[in-house]
Copies of this chain bind each other. A is one copy, B any other.
Amino acid sequence: MGIQVVERTFAVLDALSGTDDEIRLGELAVRTTLPKSTLSRILATLTDLDVVARGAADGSYRLGPRARLLAGPGSFEEVLVRAARPELRRLVADLDEDLGLGVPDGHHVRYVDQVRSHRPVRIRDYVGERMPAHSTAAGLILLADLDEEEFAAYLSHPLDAYGPGTPIDPQALGAAVDEVRNTGRAWTFEAWADGINGAAVGIRSATGQLLAVINVFGPSYRFPGDRDRGQLGARLAAAADEITHRQTI
């Protein structure tokens, strides 16, 4: 496809990102499936370039200062929020319900923006908070994006209940995730809290990578209410596509 060693380099950087922990070379070899000699050579080059830094322990690595410099003006989330906001506002105007913008954060979903409807009965502000993936609609989208091994790792942790509708049975969660994989949409009914339902779709890059999630929430007595779920899902997907389009052109 492209330049092999450049693809490998970013696979290594991916393995190092998403955590501030130091990762040992052997663990990186497992995560990237590269021979240790190959990995050692790539890491040596990246260390010389300050993209990667040696950790405190021998043979351990982490992202270096130059990786951060690549982020440029504004964090990823600020750029995402700026790109998504206009479309999220239109969506709120259409649906007249609150919605949040979530990003993956380990086994959690973290909300980086929230757009409010004009309704007097609202969902409180969740920006900055992280919820376990199985407890929100946005989180189900993230879980559906995991491969089998990653999903099994998620299931190895206890599935705590957060609301009466939280899927705490691994098989129930697996079924819910399968449905998300099939339909591209996630629905929750009092999974996070009493009286709150949710719907979500993923926002992807032009090459299909999951970047963020649109999550609509509302009180159970009116959301989704008698709305046509197919139409609602299609509207969310259209908004997500529009955000994808805006980001990569």
Q: Give the size of the chain A interface in residues (CB under 8 angstroms).
A: 64
Copy number in the complex reads 2
**Is there a chain B Cβ closer than 8 Å to A207's Cβ?**
yes
User: Chain A contact residues: over half helix, strand or loop, or mixed?
Assistant: mixed
CB distance from A138 to the nearest CB of B (A): 16
Listed stretches A49-57, A91-99, A184-192, A219-227; interface member: A49-57
CB distance from A192 to the nearest CB of B (A): 13
CB distance from A40 to the nearest CB of B (A): 11
CB distance from A126 to the nearest CB of B (A): 8
Report the bound CA distance from A2 to B205 in whole Å.
31
Report the bound CA distance from A63 to B67 in whole Å.
13
**Is there a chain B Cβ closer than 8 Å to A234's Cβ?**
no
CB-contacts of A1-41 with B (<8 A) = 1-3, 5-7, 9-10, 13, 17-20, 41
Are the C-beta atoms of A75 and B64 separated by less than 8 Å? no
**Is there a chain B Cβ closer than 8 Å to A44's Cβ?**
yes
CB distance from A234 to the nearest CB of B (A): 25
**Is there a chain B Cβ closer than 8 Å to A65's Cβ?**
yes
Residues from chain B with a CB closer than 8 A to the CB of A121 are none
Are the C-beta atoms of B76 and A65 separated by less than 8 Å? yes
Listed stretches A127-135, A143-151, A169-177, A194-202; interface member: A127-135
- Against B, the Cβ 8 Å flags (1 = close, 0 = not) of A65-85 are 111111111111111100000
Cross-interface CB contact of A65 among B5, B64, B128, cutoff 8 Å: B128
Cross-interface CB contact of A48 among B51, B54, B106, B207, cutoff 8 Å: B207
Are the C-beta atoms of A205 and B247 separated by less than 8 Å? no
Residues from chain B with a CB closer than 8 A to the CB of A48 are 1-2, 207
CB distance from A239 to the nearest CB of B (A): 18
**Is there a chain B Cβ closer than 8 Å to A46's Cβ?**
yes
**A to B CB contacts below 8 Å, 7 in the list:** A3-B45, A50-B206, A50-B207, A53-B206, A54-B248, A65-B127, A73-B76
Apart from A7-B45, A65-B209: 11 A-B pairs, beta carbons within 8 A: A6-B49, A10-B51, A17-B72, A20-B110, A20-B130, A63-B128, A64-B248, A67-B70, A67-B128, A73-B110, A75-B77
Interface residue ranges, A against B (CB under 8 Å): 1-3, 5-7, 9-10, 13, 17-20, 41-42, 44-46, 48-51, 53-54, 56, 62-80, 103, 105-106, 110, 112, 125, 127-130, 132, 160, 205-207, 209, 211, 247-249
